[in-house]
């Protein structure tokens, strides 16, 4: 796992869901840098762990950011499929980012890491790619195009030794 110098392992922050609520948030680690948009961070809210999509400051400062953020949030919020990451809530964590972040369910690893660090059969790979196809079919049926389908963006939840569910 890549650690960010901007994050302190286990740092407690306040999550502003709205103007009247504050929730304790623990930041564990950076899960990965995601190209030009920002990074994914593993966090804990109350007793539940999630992934947080945090955008780079230079992305947040662009005039089209708010519109793109709202569109991505709306798309994620409307998608309900077993092979699509489940969106939880948008929020602000001021010590983590000056802009909004997206909270999503936390998965165990991506396909790139799984494929390079675990033993697997051809059938395992076929099962994963079949589930990727099901998720893409669902998105396409809703006129949504992923636009960044890579092995690092196929996220896995290990159910049993050879029965992975990916999103």
Average pLDDT for 6-10: 31
- Give the global pTM: 0.71
With CA atoms as reference, report the closest residue to 107 among 40, 157, 52. Answer: 157
Residues 76/89, Cβ–Cβ less than 8 Å: no
Residues 151/157, Cβ–Cβ less than 8 Å: no
Q: Is 137 a catalytic residue?
A: no
Query: Which pLDDT tens digit goes with each residue over 87-136?
Result: 877 777 776 788 888 888 888 888 888 889 888 888 888 988 899 999 99
* Other Cβ atoms within 10 Å of 132 Cβ, number: 18
Given a cut of 50, whether residue 6 has pLDDT beyond it is: no
Predicted pLDDT at 161:
52
User: Rounded distance, CA 167 to CA 164, Å?
Assistant: 10
Full DSSP string of 21-40:
EEEEEEEEEEEEEETTTEEE
Average pLDDT for 138-153: 87
Topology (CATH) of 11-105: Phosphorylase Kinase; domain 1 (3.30.200)
Query: In the chain, what are the domain boundaries?
Result: 11-105, 109-166
Query: Which pLDDT tens digit goes with each residue over 40-77?
Result: 888 888 788 888 888 888 888 888 888 888 888 888 88
Residue 116 phi/psi, 5-degree rounding, is -90, -15
Given a cut of 80, whether residue 35 has pLDDT beyond it is: no
**How does residue 3 score in pLDDT terms, banded at 50, 70 and 90?**
very low
Taking the CA of residue 5 as centre, how many other CA atoms within 13 Å lie in the half-sphere pointing to its CB?
0
Catalytic residue among 57, 74, 137, 148: 148
Given a cut of 90, whether residue 137 has pLDDT beyond it is: yes
């Amino acid at each position: 796992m890549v650690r960010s110098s901007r994050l302190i392992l286990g740092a407690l922050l306040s999550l502003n869901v709205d103007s009247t609520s504050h929730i304790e948030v623990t930041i564990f680690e950076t899960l990965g840098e995601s190209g030009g948009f920002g990074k994914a961070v593993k966090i804990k809210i109350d007793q539940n762990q999630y992934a947080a999509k945090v955008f780079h400051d230079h992305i947040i400062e662009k005039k089209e950011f708010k519109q793109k953020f709202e569109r991505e949030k709306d798309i994620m919020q409307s998608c309900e499929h077993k092979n699509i990451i489940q969106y939880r809530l948008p929020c602000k964590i001021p010590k983590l980012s000056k802009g909004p972040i997206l909270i999503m369910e936390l998965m165990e690893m991506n396909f790139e890491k799984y494929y390079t660090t675990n033993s697997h059969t051809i059938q395992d790979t076929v099962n994963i790619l079949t589930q990727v196809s099901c998720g893409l079919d669902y998105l396409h049926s809703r006129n949504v195009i992923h636009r960044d389908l890579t092995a690092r963006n196929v996220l896995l939840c290990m159910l049993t030794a050879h029965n992975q569910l990916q999103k």
